[in-house]
Chains A and B, each alone.
Chain A
Amino acid sequence: MRNLRAWLLRLAAVFRKAQHDREFVDEMESHLQMHIDDNLRSGMNAQDARRQALIKLGGVEPTKEIYRERRGLPLLETVLQDLRYATRTLRKNPGFTIIAVLTLALGIGANTAIFSMVNALLLHPYNFPDLDRLVRVWQNRGIDEGADARFIAPQDAADLQNGAPVFDALTTYRCGDFNLNTEGNVQAVLGCRVSANFFDVLGVSPALGRMFSPAEEQPGADQVAVVSYGFWQRRFAGDAGLLGKVIQMNGKKYTVVGIMPRGFDYPVPMELWVPLGLSPAEKTDRAKPWLGALGRLKPGISVAQARIAADSVSRRLQQEYRGAHRTWRRTLARCSAAKAGFAAFWL
């Protein structure tokens, strides 16, 4: 406590140096005069009185130095002095200063930009709950064309979910353009057809309204839409009446049932989501991989364990449906942190 008090006072003293210096000179001067007075009283002449007093008291400058060191924080003072010197020097050389400042500014700017990008893409791609349990699943067709071209056939996705008990849930989706018709004005918006459990798997729920019900996955019942926060703000100026409103897309009418929270736009910057609504024929298709798939692993299941499970399912499917799976050269391959930020594996 005492120490803290002393340090604070010393810190304060750094900024009131001149005043303290003056005061201490006064104090020493008064001390010296009193000493001289006493010497005079004891019968010395004026010159001796002064001389003896000075000898007795020691050097004035070294004393000031010792006193200053105790009063303030010498290290801090030195640093401040250096800073002042640096400022003066820089002011004297404007050309150098400008170049130095620009260099630093560019360097810092570039660093910030790169870091923001890496941060957004690699370090914190999404903030879905239990992100490490989310995996992308797709069929290995022997070539990998990147995160946007990893697909699975509908029936394979269903078989994988049923045959490999490693997933809490598996959801599928397909992104594409929708022609949004607002009062005769047609615009293309990026949307996504998703299974009813899409938002559940990601662990997000709409900020307003609701997500899709399983019933709405049936063709015919699927004319409902969930829109992004950005879509709501940009195209409908945040109109609170948008919920329940009917919007026209691709010549069909969709009722807006939900508005997602700000910042949610998975899988790629999306403006809206509608039910996948697969027809019975599409559902049983295993020849054509065209759906994106996203699985939420059961708690405690590692990606490696999931891969083994998926491997056995795909081996079995390969034997059962040789024709459809002719092209599966590898049943299972690498797992890597995909661009999307999810652990991923090939089926």
Chain B
Amino acid sequence: MAQKKDVWQGTLALMVLKTLDMLGPLHGYGIARRIEQTSGDLLAVNYGTLYPALLKLEQEGYIRSEWGVSDNNRKAKYYKLTRAGKKQLEREARDWEQTTSILARFLAPGEEPS
């Protein structure tokens, strides 16, 4: 099995926000699963990285949580995107795209910019 990469804290927050934006209210397990799947199982999300990140987002008011019941009848804490979270997601996504496009230009082989 290929070595899985840990997730950077900063990008994890963005992934969590995007996941909640796509899937609606979700518990921690579901978020972790979704991130792992989307990464094509290249990323490993464990307790120690996921929950502090969720807590931080909640303290900052980007997400809200409440206890609910899962599909197979388990008690679980569900996280939900707030309106501030939605804005933050747009902002961070934009920043990230900018960063990656800049980096891509650096790493791209070929012609010098004129």
Q: Which residues of A contact B (CB under 8 A)?
A: 2-3, 5-6, 9-10, 23-24, 26-28, 30-31, 33-35, 37-38, 56-60, 62-63, 66-67, 69-71
Contact assessment for B60 and A2 in the assembled complex, using a CB-CB cutoff below 8 Å? yes
Q: Which of A26, A59, A67 contacts B51 (CB 8 A)?
A: A67
Cβ proximity bits B38-72 to A, threshold 8 Å, 1 near / 0 not = 00000010111001100110011100000000101
How far apart are the CA atoms of A256 and B48 in the complex, in Å? 84
Please, could you name 26 A-B residue pairs with CB atoms under 8 Å apart, sorted by A?
A2-B84, A5-B59, A5-B60, A6-B56, A6-B59, A27-B51, A27-B76, A27-B77, A28-B51, A30-B27, A30-B70, A30-B77, A31-B47, A34-B27, A34-B29, A34-B30, A34-B74, A37-B74, A38-B33, A56-B46, A58-B46, A59-B48, A66-B51, A66-B52, A67-B55, A71-B55
How far apart are the CA atoms of A270 and B76 in the complex, in Å? 79
Contact assessment for A60 and B29 in the assembled complex, using a CB-CB cutoff below 8 Å? no
Residues in B whose Cβ lies below 8 Å from that of A58: 46-48
How far apart are the CA atoms of A38 and B28 in the complex, in Å? 14
Q: Which residue of A lies closest to B77 (CB)?
A: A27
CB distance from B10 to the nearest CB of A (A): 15
Q: Which of A31, A38, A59 contacts B27 (CB 8 A)?
A: A31
CB distance from B19 to the nearest CB of A (A): 15
How far apart are the CA atoms of A75 and B77 in the complex, in Å? 28
With A31-B27, A62-B48, A63-B48 known as contacts, the answer to whether A37 contacts B72 (CB < 8 A) is: yes
Residues in A whose Cβ lies below 8 Å from that of B59: 5-6, 9-10, 70
Contact assessment for B29 and A35 in the assembled complex, using a CB-CB cutoff below 8 Å? yes
Residues in A whose Cβ lies below 8 Å from that of B33: 38
B75: interface (CB < 8 Å): yes
Q: Which residues of B contact A (CB under 8 A)?
A: 27-30, 32-33, 44, 46-48, 51-52, 55-56, 59-61, 70, 72, 74-77, 84
How far apart are the CA atoms of A28 and B56 in the complex, in Å? 17
Interface of A is mostly: helix
Contact assessment for B75 and A26 in the assembled complex, using a CB-CB cutoff below 8 Å? yes
Residues in B whose Cβ lies below 8 Å from that of A27: 28, 51, 76-77
Residues in B whose Cβ lies below 8 Å from that of A62: 48
Contact assessment for A70 and B52 in the assembled complex, using a CB-CB cutoff below 8 Å? yes
Which of B33, B52, B70 has the most chain A CB atoms inside 10 A of its CB?
B52
CB distance from A101 to the nearest CB of B (A): 40
How far apart are the CA atoms of A37 and B51 in the complex, in Å? 20
Q: Which residue of B lies closest to A65 (CB)?
A: B48
Contact assessment for A30 and B29 in the assembled complex, using a CB-CB cutoff below 8 Å? yes
CB distance from A10 to the nearest CB of B (A): 7
Q: Which residue of A lies closest to B60 (CB)?
A: A2
Residues in B whose Cβ lies below 8 Å from that of A71: 55
How far apart are the CA atoms of A31 and B31 in the complex, in Å? 10
A27-B28, A66-B51, A70-B55 known, 20 other contacts, Cβ within 8 Å: A2-B60, A2-B84, A5-B59, A6-B56, A24-B51, A26-B75, A27-B76, A28-B47, A28-B51, A30-B77, A34-B72, A57-B46, A58-B46, A58-B47, A60-B47, A63-B47, A66-B52, A67-B51, A67-B52, A70-B59
Contact assessment for A34 and B61 in the assembled complex, using a CB-CB cutoff below 8 Å? no
Q: Which residue of B lies closest to A10 (CB)?
A: B59
Residues in A whose Cβ lies below 8 Å from that of B44: 56
Return the 9 tightest CB-CB contacts between A and B, nearest first.
Answer: A6-B59, A58-B46, A63-B47, A34-B29, A70-B52, A63-B48, A2-B60, A31-B29, A30-B76
How far apart are the CA atoms of A31 and B49 in the complex, in Å? 14
Q: Which residue of A lies closest to B53 (CB)?
A: A70
Contact assessment for B74 and A33 in the assembled complex, using a CB-CB cutoff below 8 Å? yes
How far apart are the CA atoms of A69 and B56 in the complex, in Å? 11
CB distance from B91 to the nearest CB of A (A): 12
With A5-B60, A9-B59, A70-B52 known as contacts, the answer to whether A31 contacts B28 (CB < 8 A) is: yes
How far apart are the CA atoms of A67 and B56 in the complex, in Å? 10
How far apart are the CA atoms of A232 and B77 in the complex, in Å? 74
How far apart are the CA atoms of A58 and B76 in the complex, in Å? 19
